[in-house]
């Protein structure tokens, strides 16, 4: 048997109407970079889905991932704990609502504590 009839694993499309154009850059969502004063940030401590560990979740950001990564590094250093960035949401390990609220307001964000 010859392997001439088999397509390469790299391009497994059977039919493509408009050729081999890569439109991945056009499909990416653009995130508007709003100034901190125009963003409504929510700070909340939660334990749901984390095996009983308390995590402070900060939501409401409308910024680029690079900005959020820089902010996350600063918040982790101020709180002295670990954290992560997931889908424009910052998660800091432990209950640091008051400290994070203070840091965010100093940076010019409109932040509120939500939840009990």
The answer as to whether 12 is a domain residue is no
In 10 A of CB 79, how many CB atoms?
18
Spatial strand order of the sheet with 55-59 comes to 83-86, 89-93, 55-59, 40-46, 110-113
C-alpha dihedral sign at 107, 111, 113, 114? negative
pLDDT in tens, 42-100: 999 999 888 889 999 999 999 888 999 999 999 999 999 999 999 889 999 999 999 99
CATH code of the domain in which 106 resides: 3.30.780.10
Backbone angles phi and psi of 3, in degrees to 5: -100, 20
Range of the domain at 69: 32-113
The 8-class DSSP code of residue 60 comes to -
Joined together, the tokens standing for residue 89 give 């949401």
Rounded Cα distance between 36 and 76, Å, is 19
Q: What is the pTM of this model?
A: 0.71
The answer as to whether 8 is a domain residue is no
């Amino acid at each position: 048997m010859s392997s001439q009839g088999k397509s390469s694993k790299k391009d497994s499309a059977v039919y493509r109407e408009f050729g081999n154009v890569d439109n991945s850059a056009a499909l990416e969502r653009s995130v508007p970079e709003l100034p901190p004063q125009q963003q409504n940030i929510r700070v909340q401590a939660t334990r749901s889905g984390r095996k009983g560990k308390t995590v402070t979740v900060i939501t409401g950001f409308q910024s680029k991932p690079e900005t959020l990564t820089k902010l996350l590094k600063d918040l982790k250093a101020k709180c002295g704990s670990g954290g992560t960035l997931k889908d424009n949401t910052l998660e800091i390990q432990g209950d640091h609502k008051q400290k994070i609220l203070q840091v965010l307001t100093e940076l010019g964000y409109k932040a509120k504590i939500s939840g009990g």
